[in-house]
Amino acid sequence: MALAGAVRTEVLNVQLRGPAEFLPGLDGRRHATTWMIALQLGAGELLGIDSRQIGGLLVPRTVAAGVVHDVLLYDQVAGGSGHCRALLERWPELLDAAWKRLSCSNARCVNGCHRCLIAYETQRYEDMMRRSALRAFLEPRWQVIKEQPKRDGMTVGALFRGGAEVREALARAEGGQVTVIVHSITGEALDVDGWLPLLLRHADGRGQVRLVVECLPDPNSDADRFLAARLRIAVAGGRLELLTAKKGVSATPWRITVDEPAHAFFVEQSEDNSLGPSWLREGAAIYQAMGADARRTILERTNALVAGCRTVRATDLEPDPPKESTTIHWISVGQTGAEATFAHWFRGTDGTSLFDKPLAELHIADPYLASEWQLRLLTDLVKLAKQNGVAKLRVSTYPPKEEGNLCGPNRTVTAEEQQRIVAELTGDRAWQPLPLPKNSIDRMHKRVVTGRRTDGTRFEVLLERGIDFIVERRGGRSTRETYLVVRDPVD
């Protein structure tokens, strides 16, 4: 029920979100409209400004009961005038001003009058006003609405589109220090819109980034190998100061602290205890410490925690030496033109192709082959294997999502088309894609190509992004920045 605020980065405005329990349907929309007007007029009175300088929007949102409407306030002045930012620091006064508007002294007022809600800028909403009904709806909930949440003992305000608020704080803190405290890191943090690339870009702009974790990624684990490599490169290049904290760092909400000026953001996720990319999206609960005193206290606690941490060196993220029978070959991909082929990249340490010896079996596991381009790449890889006389070929993948999962020129194929193409490639007319699990935790994310030769030796190629690390560009093919790990042979 608490209100929430965030920054619209395109115009640097602050948005405030209203109660989330408005009834769905037309009655709910009338409630939300009335609440928006009360907030706008109350804000103008509180700040001593013309209320027309505060804009209002209704944003529909689907919940179990139906569609509800969130109320967003924003500065009408392009670029932001700072009025909504001032309201973030004056929550109790803003709510009291809105409640005063809903408590009209006119005994004959039911839906709204000139003493409470009807003004020049709000008269167009007169047919939607339901003052007395909204007041009756909010009255039993009012104490809950006025209570501000606390995190780590600090009063915080919930952020709507909180990732945008974090981005703006980083932009203002060019050259400043950023500290992120998390329990652990997931591989999705490396996504293009993930939080780790965002912070590393801040470091490239002469900023300082400290990352405090309780659980470091395991460089010997297939699941963590690429993440450990990225962190190792960032640490070795001086872009990131990585520290490990004692057990229990996750007992407090994850937070990011930005100095110059000081900001503290608390991040909470409901699905697991590892920090992925969604804290920059609307899926995570994000809170900002309210007031200079709270931010200063968080900064002091952060520095005290860092003082007791161990600094991680790049060598700490090196994988263990391989067994004598196994050769691990790391390949950093970044080529264009004729070299952007599987034949060029699927090579061992001696430079020869992994497919030079006759193959008995090849298994290609890439869960998200959902576009025409990806299936054409699969065709190329299968042709390469068949040139070496592979006797048995298997492909493991999920069916395309109904709503699609790609943007740009690559359109998502149908499940029937995917089945037809893969069945032709494998020779198995009864081939079916893997069933898509309902629980995202159980989904297969590992992308790997495993081969068994006729002499009994095996090899394995781990793909960070999948077989579509080769992309179509204007003028030919190129490879996205990624890593391949070739193990040959595999025990």
Which domain-ending residue is among 262, 287, 317?
Answer: 317
Would you state the structure tokens that stand for residue 114, as one six-digit string?
């000139």
| Secondary structure (3-state) at 392 | strand
pLDDT at residue 373, rounded to an integer = 84
| Geometric angle at alpha carbon 353, from 386 and 187, rounded to 5° | 95
Which domain-ending residue is among 86, 117, 147?
Answer: 147
pLDDT in tens, the chain (491 residues): 233 333 333 333 444 555 656 677 778 888 889 999 999 999 999 998 988 888 888 877 776 677 777 787 888 876 566 777 777 778 788 889 999 999 999 989 999 999 999 988 888 899 999 999 999 888 888 887 777 778 888 888 776 656 667 777 777 777 788 898 888 887 667 666 667 777 887 777 677 889 999 888 888 776 677 788 888 888 888 888 999 988 777 666 778 888 766 788 887 754 443 444 444 544 567 788 877 888 888 888 888 888 889 999 988 998 876 555 566 666 666 667 766 788 778 887 777 888 888 889 999 998 888 788 888 899 999 988 888 888 899 999 988 875 444 444 445 688 888 999 999 999 888 898 888 776 655 667 778 899 998 888 888 888 877 888 887 776 678 877 666 777 777 66
Same-domain status, 264 and 118 = no
Would you state the structure tokens that stand for residue 420, as one six-digit string?
């037809």
Same-domain status, 361 and 296 = no
Kindly state whether residue 174 falls inside one of the protein's structural domains.
Answer: yes
Same-domain status, 369 and 432 = yes
Structural domains in the chain (count): 3
Same-domain status, 142 and 156 = no
Kindly state whether residue 220 falls inside one of the protein's structural domains.
Answer: yes
Q: Measure the CA–CA gap between 333 and 329, rounded to whole angstroms.
A: 12
Kindly state whether residue 125 falls inside one of the protein's structural domains.
Answer: yes
Q: Measure the CA–CA gap between 160 and 196, rounded to whole angstroms.
A: 21
pLDDT at residue 4, rounded to an integer = 38
pLDDT at residue 324, rounded to an integer = 55
Same-domain status, 73 and 160 = no
Same-domain status, 333 and 430 = yes
Kindly state whether residue 205 falls inside one of the protein's structural domains.
Answer: yes
351 burial type by CB count under 10 A (0-12 exposed, 13-18 middle, 19+ buried): exposed
Which domain-ending residue is among 256, 287, 317?
Answer: 317
Kindly state whether residue 322 falls inside one of the protein's structural domains.
Answer: no
CATH assignment at residue 200:
3.30.870.10
Q: Measure the CA–CA gap between 56 and 253, rounded to whole angstroms.
A: 32
Q: Measure the CA–CA gap between 447 and 160, rounded to whole angstroms.
A: 35
Same-domain status, 247 and 342 = no
Same-domain status, 138 and 155 = no
Q: Hunting for tokens 């008995």 — which residue is that?
A: 360
pLDDT at residue 274, rounded to an integer = 43
Same-domain status, 296 and 444 = no
pLDDT at residue 17, rounded to an integer = 53
Handedness of CA 246, 251, 256, 258 (dihedral sign): negative
CATH assignment at residue 454:
3.30.870.30
Q: Measure the CA–CA gap between 286 and 267, rounded to whole angstroms.
A: 5
pLDDT at residue 310, rounded to an integer = 92
- Please give the biggest Cα pair distance in the chain: 94
Handedness of CA 360, 364, 365, 367 (dihedral sign): negative
pLDDT at residue 118, rounded to an integer = 92
Tell me the per-residue pLDDT of 307-348, one tens digit each, with 9 for 90 and over: 889 999 988 998 876 555 566 666 666 667 766 788 778 887
Same-domain status, 336 and 478 = yes
Same-domain status, 207 and 106 = no
Kindly state whether residue 396 falls inside one of the protein's structural domains.
Answer: yes
Kindly state whether residue 323 falls inside one of the protein's structural domains.
Answer: no
pLDDT at residue 311, rounded to an integer = 94
pLDDT at residue 447, rounded to an integer = 85
Kindly state whether residue 221 falls inside one of the protein's structural domains.
Answer: yes
Q: Print the domain residue range for 60.
A: 4-147
Same-domain status, 308 and 203 = yes
